[in-house]
Amino acid sequence: YALFKQATEGDIHGKKPGMMDLVGKAKYAAWAKMKGTPAEQAMQNYINKVEALKS
């Protein structure tokens, strides 16, 4: 999720999900860790991950 979001939308934006939104919080935290990663690098990492999962 985080690699895809970073590649397509860039650095994280929007407000942090509420305390009871556990899935939203996990997604937000994963995307926040990608902050500063260039879109091209994130896309290549995403492709590499998908290829590894296909094997």
Residues 45, 6: Cα–Cα separation, whole Å: 11
Asked if residue 55 has pLDDT above 90, the reply is no
For residue 50, the number of C-alpha atoms closer than 13 Å in the C-beta half-sphere is 9
The neighbour count for residue 5, using CB atoms within 10 Å, is 18
* pLDDT on residue 5: 96
Summarize pLDDT for 2-15 with one digit per residue, the tens: 999 999 999 999 99
Range of the domain at 6: 2-54
Type of residue numbered 51: E
- As for how many domains the chain has, the answer is 1
Looking at residue 46, its pLDDT comes to 96
The CATH number that applies at residue 16 is: 1.20.80.10
